[in-house]
Structure 1
Amino acid sequence: MRLSLSLSAAVLGLASLVRASNVIDLDTKNFDKIVGGSKGGSLVEFFAPWCGHCKNLAPTWEQLADAFPSDKVVIAKTDADGVGRELGTRYGVTGFPTLKWFPAGSTEAVDYTGGRDLDSLAAFVTEKSGVKSKIKPPPPPAAVQLDSSNFADIALDESKNVLVAFTAPWCGHCKNMKPAYEKVARAFLPETDCVVAQMNADDEENKPIASEYGVRSFPTIKFFPKGADKEPVMYSSGRSEEQFIEFLNENCGTHRSASGLLTEAAGKVLPLDKLASSFFTASLPERPAILDEAKSYLASLSGVEKKVKDSAAYYVRAMERIVEKGEAWLTKEQARIAGLLASPSLAPTKLDELKIKANILSSFAVQKITDLYEAAEEAVEGAGQVVYEAAKDAGHKIKAEL
């Protein structure tokens, strides 16, 4: 008796673990009633029990059915190689799985050709039915989304460098690339003239654009450089985050790191960098002449980007402050900027501005530090030579005494 009760409890326990499925099974007897009577529409999977792709889709299909109220939207399946074979023939099913959408109250099918991940499927059902899913929406993409309505305005903008990834929702390589591509897009958000974009090139409305630019496989990545000649360049480097960033920095003239912060080279102007080093190591009477040289260089800049002029102006401003207030100003200003950079609440534009200033100020002290290091190195070498000569003399004396 006790054994019987134990077995019963075990069976009940196992039964409680088996959750009822919200996916509706269809056959020729109930298809028209359920699909034709749906209030919001029906998404039906035509599958075969032996189909590997169908087995892979099964967990996602269950999640999709759980995401929508069953009294408003029907998520269903039918064995088109078994009880639903007649339905498969009726709707021209030639491969598995085949997914078809049936509008509310209709048995007229619309082919589903989008991605088979949960987010893509749920977005499609919501778009067609107007019913929201219970799935928490993913964050908006960092990459600028292009389509036939905005491609020319963004990708062909003569004032911008634009990297475009032509992708397809079903493409496995595109899915693998997406995390790295999104990180890069997020890192370059502060760069208004270096845009990271993406286009669903398999969308019917976007296919003519993809064809125009020779897109024959996915992902295809092309770089549209700024300027009147917007002839795209094929991107043929690797698809890691670091490789994308290296390409963009080289072709956009930017200095971004994977974190989105600027690198140590950002804001540097080479001719002024050299003057800054000379200025800081020069004697006090020599500094005004170097400052005048820096001002002349600044005045000669024409036809360059505003950010280059702004950087050049800061070199001159720093020299003026050092002339007025002495080298103590440089130390205090570097400490002040370092403190501000440590603040977690800085806006990205302010963070960039401060980082560029910090980079420029570092140019003033580098040469002096190098000179001090070399002087110390020479002193150590000189001391070593003195010790060597003393040891040599002592050796000769000992040898003479012996």
Structure 2
Amino acid sequence: MKFTISFGIFAFAALVGASNVVDLDTKNFEQFVGGDRPALVEFYAPWCGHCKNLAPTYEQLADAFPSDKVVIAKTDADGVGRELGTKFGVTGFPTIKWFPAGSLEPVDYASGRDLESLVGFVGKQSGVKSSIKPPPPPLAVELDASNFDDIALNNDKDVLVAFTAPWCGHCKTLKPTYEKVAKAFLSEPNCVVAQMDADAAPNKPIASKYDVRSFPTIKFFPKGSKEPVAYSTGRSEQQFIDFLNEHCGTHRSISGLLSETAGKVLTLDTLASSFFTASLPERPDVLGKAREYLATLTGTDTKNSTAAEYYVRAMERVLEKGEGWLAKEQARIAGLLASPSLAPTKLDELKIKANILSSFAATKASEAADAAGDLYDQAAGAAGDLYDQAVDAAKQVPQQAKDGVDQFADAVQGQAKKIKEEL
């Protein structure tokens, strides 16, 4: 029984200690490297803190690729592999090098030390798929030397560019937030959220041209301008969104939906307000003014003119079908906005209509609030009068009670006196 337990513990320990990372030294190096399989080799030192931090990730990397197609290996370049470290120019730890199949001429690995970066590199170099599910493609537009000018310097687009480096910790921290911002602006083709690996050799001249000295550096390239504006605001999602809305003329919220200001036109908001406060005979005149303003927008501002058209159509429908149309149309649009299957462009269209109709509804709500306020003042006044009367009545009660007690006392005394006289 003791032997069985001991053997079980030994087997479990052996299982836990099993590793797919190949240990190399000067004797077996060429047995695994330079043959028919490509190899990624980590040159480490046992005392190196960065090497210790990398170790569990490197084990996961070895587990992710079939060992008969890719070699994931390491060598103690401060011990048994010291000669190998010297031979391949290793001057710091950890140093990671890629050896293509059939070659002992390595390529330096200069990307991140996270599992995603390592898996991506090995997969790209070897053409072998890993067992790890690949991350979704980035939502931020990927820029490099081949497409930078076409996108960032496009005269029709406003572009926010994050210049990053794969090894940069601050860049990794920024990435999830930046991806959310990119997602929020997917429906804005002319307001682009982009990023660039500014530490990649082909991209370094561009980074230098725009004075990128640290990572991440974020710059905004306005449409029609070749000179960027340094982004120096905060790095929260809301701060990025506020900046882009201000500089791109957009109205996006964190969710990616349009905000309450989207589609609003100040002049037409004022006319919408006066439309409902005007008497019925005066409303056509207000509609006429709205049509005149719409004519000034047509051909000059397509985005605003499209929204402005709905102000006019709403006024026409109210004149045709009565004020009840407004409430019905608001309810219809609210129901459609709650649908999870609408395309982003349709959601934008409905949100703009809802925002515009709120300009009319706000007027009615204001009138109702004023009326309610008048009723409240009247009720409060009446209540105040009743209260004053009640207070006056209450003030009289003590005196009335005292008078009653005095009368009772006089009556008792008189009766007692009468009885005494009779005796």
Same structural fold, with TM-score higher than 0.5 when normalized by the shorter chain: yes
For residue 201 of structure 2, give the secondary structure of its aligned residue in structure 1.
coil
* Cα deviation digits, residues 333-364 of structure 1 (max 9, x gap): 11211111111110000110011111111111
Structure 1 CA distance, aligned partners of 2:109 and 2:270?
62
Aligned to 1:10: 9
Shift in Å, 1:393: 5.0
Given residue 23 of structure 2, which amino acid in structure 1 is its aligned partner? D
* Cα deviation digits, residues 110-140 of structure 1 (max 9, x gap): 1111111112112212222222222211101
Matched, 1:117 2:110: no
Matched, 1:79 2:102: no
For residue 78 of structure 1, give the secondary structure of its aligned residue in structure 2.
strand
Structure 1: give runs of 5+ residues left out of the alignment: none
Aligned to 2:251: 255
For residue 183 of structure 2, give the secondary structure of its aligned residue in structure 1.
helix
Structure 2 CA distance, aligned partners of 1:166 and 1:94?
28
Structure 2 CA distance, aligned partners of 1:400 and 1:286?
59
Given residue 235 of structure 1, which amino acid in structure 2 is its aligned partner? Y
| Aligned residue among 287, 290, 297 for 1:294 | 290
Aligned to 1:278: 274
Aligned-residue Cα RMSD (Å) equals 1.7
Structure 1 CA distance, aligned partners of 2:67 and 2:396?
109
The structure-2 alpha-carbon separation of the partners of 1:6 and 1:397, relative to structure 1 and needing over 3 Å to count, comes to closer
Shift in Å, 1:397: 6.8
| Aligned residue among 176, 185, 189 for 2:186 | 189
Structure 2 CA distance, aligned partners of 1:180 and 1:283?
51
Aligned to 2:22: 24
Structure 2 CA distance, aligned partners of 1:22 and 1:394?
92
Aligned to 1:359: 355
> Does the 8 Å contact 1:42/1:101 carry over to 2?
yes
Aligned to 1:104: 101
| 1:311-350 equivalence runs, <5 A | 311-350=307-346
> Does the 8 Å contact 1:40/1:131 carry over to 2?
no
Structure 2 CA distance, aligned partners of 1:48 and 1:371?
78
Structure 2 CA distance, aligned partners of 1:211 and 1:180?
26
Structure 2 CA distance, aligned partners of 1:20 and 1:244?
47
> Does the 8 Å contact 1:256/1:263 carry over to 2?
yes
| 1:185-264 equivalence runs, <5 A | 185-227=182-224, 229-264=225-260
The structure-2 alpha-carbon separation of the partners of 1:399 and 1:42, relative to structure 1 and needing over 3 Å to count, comes to closer
Aligned to 2:131: 134
> Does the 8 Å contact 1:41/1:129 carry over to 2?
yes
Structure 1 CA distance, aligned partners of 2:127 and 2:97?
17
Shift in Å, 1:375: 2.2
The structure-2 alpha-carbon separation of the partners of 1:116 and 1:394, relative to structure 1 and needing over 3 Å to count, comes to closer
TM-score normalised by L of structure 2? 0.90
Shift in Å, 1:214: 0.6
Structure 2 CA distance, aligned partners of 1:42 and 1:76?
7
How many pairs does the alignment contain? 398
For residue 206 of structure 1, give the secondary structure of its aligned residue in structure 2.
helix
Larger Rg: 2
For residue 202 of structure 2, give the secondary structure of its aligned residue in structure 1.
coil
Structure 2 CA distance, aligned partners of 1:137 and 1:242?
28
Structure 1 CA distance, aligned partners of 2:392 and 2:123?
97
Comparing 128-137 with 178-187, greater Cα deviation is found at: 128-137
> Does the 8 Å contact 1:167/1:220 carry over to 2?
yes
Percent of aligned positions that are identical: 69
Given residue 244 of structure 1, which amino acid in structure 2 is its aligned partner? F
Aligned to 1:34: 32
Matched, 1:374 2:349: no
| Aligned residue among 53, 62, 66 for 2:63 | 66
* Cα deviation digits, residues 155-192 of structure 1 (max 9, x gap): 11111111000000000000000001000100100011
Comparing 120-129 with 141-150, greater Cα deviation is found at: 120-129
Given residue 25 of structure 1, which amino acid in structure 2 is its aligned partner? D
Given residue 183 of structure 2, which amino acid in structure 1 is its aligned partner? R
Aligned to 2:403: none
Structure 2 CA distance, aligned partners of 1:152 and 1:116?
30
Shift in Å, 1:399: 5.9
* Cα deviation digits, residues 24-76 of structure 1 (max 9, x gap): 11100111232021x24111000000111101111111111112221221111
Given residue 45 of structure 1, which amino acid in structure 2 is its aligned partner? E
Given residue 173 of structure 2, which amino acid in structure 1 is its aligned partner? N
TM-score normalised by L of structure 1? 0.95
Structure 2: give runs of 5+ residues left out of the alignment: 400-423
Structure 1 CA distance, aligned partners of 2:10 and 2:196?
52
Aligned to 2:85: 88
Structure 2 CA distance, aligned partners of 1:280 and 1:260?
32
